[in-house]
Amino acid sequence: MTEKTKEICDVAVFNEDKVYRVKEMVESENILAVSEMFKALCDETRLKIAYALTQEAKLCVCDVAHIIGSSTATASHHLRHLKKLGLAKSSKEGKQVYYQLDDDHVKTLITIGLVHQKEVEKREDS
């Protein structure tokens, strides 16, 4: 038996109560919003920015540009996208615009993702 055939059911039977109840939940608008949030974080540059903002509570656009090795326009574009999705917030101080993560939930998402990846790598090395 191949590895692939071990990963599917041998019979096509499902629990109607569970399926209809859960199907309604997964088709909610909240799932779509969360999907958009994860899409934003699946972009490597935006994830780097979000991670940088877990390391420093506040960074100006120029700081972020230097951290990710881009122009300030590119950094600003990514930061605005994170802000639009509720992952970051901004404040203007004098002539500089500073960004920070919107709340601790965002920091937790990034941190848990990194911890999980380290665990996966550790298992693969074993």
If one counts every other C-beta atom within 10 angstroms of the C-beta of residue 48, the result is 16
- Judge whether 48 lies within some domain: yes
Beta carbons within 8 Å of 82's beta carbon, 6+ residues apart: 40, 46, 49, 50, 88, 99
- Judge whether 65 lies within some domain: yes
pLDDT of amino acid 5: 58
Number of domains the chain is built from: 1
- Judge whether 41 lies within some domain: yes
Question: Whole domain around residue 96: which residue ranges?
Answer: 13-125
pLDDT of amino acid 94: 96
pLDDT of amino acid 2: 54
- Judge whether 7 lies within some domain: no
What confidence category does residue 19 fall into, taking pLDDT thresholds of 50, 70 and 90? very high
- Rounded to the nearest 5 degrees, what angle is found at the Cα of 90, between the Cα atoms of 31 and 73? 95
- Judge whether 5 lies within some domain: no
pLDDT higher at 114 or 28: 114
- Judge whether 36 lies within some domain: yes
Specify the long-range contacts of residues 102-111, CB closer than 8 Å, at least 24 apart: 106/50, 107/53, 107/54, 109/41, 110/41, 110/47, 110/50, 110/51, 110/54, 111/54
CB 121 within 8 Å of CB 75: no
- Judge whether 120 lies within some domain: yes
What pTM was computed for the model?
Answer: 0.83
CATH number at residue 112: 1.10.10.10
- Judge whether 69 lies within some domain: yes
Q: Which residues pair with 97 in a beta bridge?
A: 92
